[in-house]
Structure 1
Amino acid sequence: MNAVWLVLFSVGIVFAIFTGNLEAFTKSIFEGAKSAVEVSLFLLGIVSVWMGITRILEDSGLIYRIAHLFRPVISRLFRNIPGDHPSISAITLNVLANLFGLGNAATPLGIKAMQELDTLNEEKGTITFEMMTFIVLNTASIQLIPFSVIGILASYNAVNPAGVVLPVLIATVISALTALVILFSFRKVLK
């Protein structure tokens, strides 16, 4: 991948020199870098806030109450996980972070959920069906309110940054249901 970026960057420099746009090319590089840093700091703020909320939810025990609300859905999807296993809470936190469109904050929660699911794995180094289900659910990530996208659109002064809420909700629900149906269909075929 580094080679691809090097080739693209080199071609861009050569093209800028031959067309006489080296100054504009240099300016756009610095503007792009500035924009990348601003967006990164913005997303870092969102992730920090969500991780703080997650820590408060865990320390207060509220996560177990939230997990209890999600338990019927989680239990139907993850039938081989004991009801009191810590992976249920980790999966619930990940689903909640994805629900609110905080994919970057969901990543560490997803890693924790996979680690917890691995404790139930009898054959270490192989993936269980529950792990596959979680990967599909996490990747599809149903988003009720995509805070990150709304924040980025707002930072670029979009006219209606919240206009993406309904289309994102519909697209993520359809993709999640489709992915889960395919996964469960393959499970029945391969049994």
Structure 2
Amino acid sequence: MGFLKGIFGSSKNEVWKQLAEELGGEFIEGGFFKTDKVNANMRAWTITLDTYTVSHGKTSSTYTRIIAPFVNNKDFKFKVYKKGFFSDVGKMLGMQDIEIGIEDFDENYIIKGNNEGLIKELLCKEDVRLLITQQPKISIEIKDKLGFFDKTPEEADILYFEEAGVLKDLERLKKIFLLFASILNNLYSLGVTSEENPNIK
């Protein structure tokens, strides 16, 4: 087993269980109809790591996602992604291209949002910016819904990260969770959210 582990690396479950332990969270084994997940609580918010699969006929693609529902008091939306991460995302409805005035960041990332002042305040926070730049590639945004069957209440939105494949890099996953915690804390400081539990199942 040690030889095979050296070739193929740790399994997803091993890494995710260790992640849950180090975050003081919980690893939940999925079973046949549900995927495995890691939940970590911070204040009223729950940050969840899981995967989902999209079928393309005879083939399928699996994605890793991290989500955190929160009550959005200002209908604030943003998306930040590294240049080259998407070939062409086009214009996002109701969101403008923004520069925050920090040259290195503006040169390397596409920033979109519906409130220029709030996005500048958020991304000018050094902890948020540093955790974004520590990712080899990143796309993080605030979404209304996860899909058609999502039961997110109207006053709540979802902080959302997604990447193709199954992420098993422990240090990288920890830093994404830290990024989520940092963004949520700063959204709280900016009055965008409160410590109200969004009560999303």
Q: Same fold (TM over 0.5)?
A: no
What TM-score, normalized by structure 1, do the two folds share?
A: 0.27
Structure number with higher strand proportion: 2
Q: With structure 2 as the length reference, what TM-score do the two structures score?
A: 0.26
Greater relative contact order (CA < 8 Å, ≥ 6 in sequence): 2
Question: Larger Rg: 1 or 2?
Answer: 1
- Between structures 1 and 2, the one with greater helix share: 1
